[in-house]
Chain A
Amino acid sequence: MKKISLPSIFSQLLLLFFVLIWIIPTFGLFISSLRDKDLLAISGWWTSLTTTKVNEIYRMAGMENQIKEGDFFIIKGKLFDSNSGKKIQSFGITSKRINEFAVDDIAILKDDSFVTVNEDGEYILKSEKEFSKKKGKRLFITALSPPAFTFDNYREVLFKEGIGRAFINTMAVALPSTLIPLIICSFFAYALTWMKFFGRDTLLAIIIASLVVPLQMSLIPILTIYNDFGALFGVAAKSYPGVWMAHTGFGLASTTFLLRNFLKSLPNEMMEAAKVDGATHYDIFLRIILPLSVPAFASIFILQFLWCWNDLLVGLVFLDQVPSEIILTAKLKELLGSRGENWEILTTGAFVSMTVPLFIFFALQRYFIRGLVAGSVKG
């Protein structure tokens, strides 16, 4: 039995609060991205979860659809696709009295034709005279609409608006930008921790010092260097290798520092035992450090990957804003300017950009937490 005390209740409530603060917007964004774009513009996402009453206007078919059946001219049709699950409760024939008739009532129009409407949207318009108007008559219906979701937004955003391409671009930026520093920092951190060489402590001090250098400060100098360097070899300064190098440079200090802190927690005697067993530094690194550091590598991978994935600034500075290079965050920013009214595009685009961080969080959450406490708690 767990003890219930005031502080524990408080902390549980606080936890609940934070969970809600985090879950609600995410969930809302997800629901919104699945809704019909017209509904999205007029009602909040929470209304789409339950059966709601909707008022809609439809136009019946015009004269060309009429058939003659006995003495009557008849127009038959459907107001909406029966798959949608909507159920009509009442209908009207004028905009002033939209609830005038119940389903199965017979409404008599001004031209003496009369109309019946079924629950599922089927209607029959009958008249003794021949219909002569091309434009159909309007019907106002009040219906119960069950929750309805669609992937149309995703289809549009991914394939028409260029988010799909931007997603791939971001992958092309983030994956190498994570793996390259990870490989470098693993060797680097090993050397800093377990090898004796001149200037080791100074090097470590420099790394720690460089942790506090703001990224913004060095962006433009680095771009200038890239430009000069690119001009020398006749290649574009803004390119994928450029952004990989930039991310590697900016990430290397923190990844090395985190990994070093982890490696430092491994027992010294184990390394000495391996040395006595005849292992070289390379053997120790490959056969002992690497297998034992998988959790640390995973943590650092997550942190660096998410940083690269969510980055906007580096991507804006070191890549051209063309379809083949633009990254997700930059693309979203662009859409926000050009398609600011189209909520279905923005919500969907935003959710697409969130999928990878969410997936990583849920798949690797135990490493996530270890990464955050890396160095502070052993193991």
Chain B
Amino acid sequence: MKDRSKEDEVADININTVNKYFGDVHVIKDVSLDIKSQSFTVLVGPSGCGKSTMLRMIAGLEDINSGTISIDGQVVNDLPPKQRNIAMVFQSYALYPHMTVFDNMAFGLKLEKRSKDEINERVNEAARILQIEDYLKRKPKQLSGGQRQRVAIGRAITRKPKVFLFDEPLSNLDAALRVQMRVELAKLHNELEATMIYVTHDQTEAMTLADDIVVLDTGIVSQKGSPLQLYDKPNNMFVGGFIGSPKMNFISSKITSKSGNATEVDLMGMSKITVPKMSASSSEGDAVTLGIRPEHVLVNQDSDGTWESKVFVVEKLGSGTFLYLEKDGEPLVAETEGHSDIKVGDTVKVGFPSNRCHLFDSSNQAFK
């Protein structure tokens, strides 16, 4: 067991070189992960990246072809879900339609043959936490989407598992409710002090909820780290593009010179910029990609590197304005203040602060 955490905390879940095939398709490729006890870990990635499969393997709903998954030091590869001390919340809620909310939440406890008092106590406790005490006698079809999702979470809570698994639990909810439930999930995590693993394709959910984000890309772990680590120091172009909204701008470029710990690149032939990042394997003349987030692009301000461009689309959001620019076939999105006078057709000067720039080499790996 690797001991890389600051405190002497035992990793609750160890995933060790796990592989999974669906027929001939290799969906999980040698994935290794340590998930700390009581952490909130979000598995994020585009659809088809294997994040749900990963979760289902932890839950025991999917066989593992090779490698091991252990929970609390115990290898659980061959254990059925109920012996893994986990609970799972599904995207479609997966409530039992013929049972009342109470029975839905008590189902697992009844199967464990708990006493009636204990069942009552635990269900009522969960209902109190989730504020669904008034609906206990209703059937799922009499509830709204948000209430159903609460019941589904309640069903997980009552069993007091060591690990909660969430499979895109908020995807079926409307935008407003999603934000509300997101906050409540964060509160719930604080309250329950349990390990939570959460799968989503929505990077906003990942950023807001996670202690640790694991970005998965076609079956491999692209990067693991805290939300801000991923935001500030993406390991590769995929993570850089995936985290943040709107997406990071990528501009094709070329290394013009290298110095000790900085790399100078060409900006569309209009200017040069020295980025304080290095890669040992790169050399002068190599093609690289310069990445910069829209919120870091300076509009009509002097900066380390600048260029001028025409505005094609203006999106006013109130809190900010997004400008869609294009220069010689290279699109660029820039964010400026909410009450901007810039109109479509205007020519603006955009500046690139060098310490906000990222560089990626031809194999999409980031310069450090």
Interface residues of A, Cβ cutoff 8 Å to B? 267, 269-270, 272-279, 283, 287-288, 291-292
Contacts and interface: CB of A to CB of B under 8 A. Distances in A.
Contacts of B112: 278
A87 B88 CA distance: 83
Contacts of B159: 277-278
Interface stretch (B11-19, B93-101, B191-199): B93-101
B94 A267 contact: yes
Summarize B's interface: helix, strand, loop or mixed: loop
B94 A292 contact: no
B94 A272 contact: yes
Contact of B80 (A269, A273, A275): A275
Contacts of B98: 288, 291-292
B61 A276 contact: yes
B92 interface: yes
Most buried by B among A269, A278, A279: A278
B92 A278 contact: no
Contacts of A270: 94-96
A270 B96 CA distance: 7
Given A276-B59, A277-B107, 4 more contacts: A273-B96, A275-B81, A278-B81, A287-B107
Contact of A277 (B91, B97, B108): B108
Given A267-B92, A267-B94, A269-B92, A274 B107 contact: yes
B111 A277 contact: yes
Given A277-B155, A292-B97, A283 B80 contact: no
B90 interface: yes
A279 B87 CA distance: 13
Interface centre among A274, A276, A283 (most CB of B within 10 A): A276
B81 A276 contact: yes
Contacts of A274: 96, 107
A112 B26 CA distance: 118
B97 A273 contact: no
Interface in B63-122: 80-82, 86-88, 90-92, 94-98, 107-108, 111-112
A292 B97 CA distance: 8
Nearest to A196: B63
Interface string B45-71: 000000000000001110000000000
A279 B88 CA distance: 14
Give the 6 A-B CB pairs with smallest separation, nearest first.
Answer: A278-B82, A277-B108, A269-B94, A273-B94, A269-B90, A291-B98
B82 A277 contact: yes
Contacts of B87: 276-277
A277 B152 CA distance: 11
24 contacts: A269-B90, A269-B92, A270-B95, A270-B96, A272-B61, A272-B90, A273-B88, A273-B94, A273-B95, A273-B152, A274-B107, A275-B60, A275-B81, A276-B61, A276-B82, A276-B88, A277-B87, A277-B107, A277-B111, A278-B111, A279-B107, A279-B111, A283-B111, A291-B98
A292 B94 CA distance: 14
A267 B96 CA distance: 10
Contacts of A279: 82, 107, 111
B119 to A, nearest CB: 13
Interface in B146-178: 152, 155, 159
Nearest to B165: A276
Nearest to A283: B111
Nearest to A270: B94
Nearest to A291: B98
A296 to B, nearest CB: 13
Nearest to A294: B98
A277 B88 CA distance: 9
A275 B82 contact: yes
Contacts of B90: 269, 272-273
A184 B13 CA distance: 43
A269 B98 CA distance: 15
Contacts of A276: 59-61, 81-82, 86-88
Interface in B187-214: none
Nearest to A272: B61
Nearest to A268: B94
A278 B86 CA distance: 10
A278 B59 CA distance: 12
Given A267-B92, A269-B90, A275 B61 contact: yes
Interface in B249-264: none
B10 to A, nearest CB: 24
Contacts of B80: 275
Contacts of B96: 270, 273-274, 288
A181 to B, nearest CB: 24
Contacts of B59: 272, 276
B61 to A, nearest CB: 5
A325 B159 CA distance: 57
Contact of A278 (B95, B97, B108): B108
Nearest to B111: A278
Nearest to B90: A269
B362 to A, nearest CB: 42
B88 A272 contact: yes
A276 B86 CA distance: 7
B155 A273 contact: yes
Contacts of B92: 267, 269
A283 B96 CA distance: 13
